[in-house]
Structure 1
């Protein structure tokens, strides 16, 4: 793994992945969300935003972020490039 891959977070080790999963489990427990609810929320967000603009559905990330004072639902929704927007609109 090159230093650039490590810098960009590519090719994470299994230990790093396990740590991230454990953090997500702890955040879900603190936020008191039932299992699967985050995926339902993600699907709803994608559906609503896709009605108004072209997005890259495969790259949408929704996660919980937790501090000692609050829990946040964070959605990262990449907008589609002009080429993808033209395909979605039926012009390409």
Structure 2
């Protein structure tokens, strides 16, 4: 059985977004456990997946979507596809 990842409440994560729904985050791939942390006003996401062929990006989007209660397709990486520092946009779902 998989342990539930350490995730802050969705409204705390959404509070970090700008008016366009963008959130800056720092990703740590190949971590011991999946987690989302808010530290010094920055969102940090840890995923257990290795950063090859976009696998870590997919894991980040999946984890963030689950934490926010939105579909994976509503989250896009705006900047930082191959970097640890990323900018993602969360589309508002109706």
Interval of TM-score (by shorter of Structure 1 and Structure 2): 0.3 to 0.5
Question: Counting strand residues as a fraction of each chain, which structure ranks higher?
Answer: 2
* Structure 1 length-normalised TM: 0.34
* Structure 2 length-normalised TM: 0.33
Bigger RCO of structures 1 and 2 (CA < 8 A, at least 6 apart): 2
If you compute each CA radius of gyration, which structure gives the higher value, 1 or 2? 1
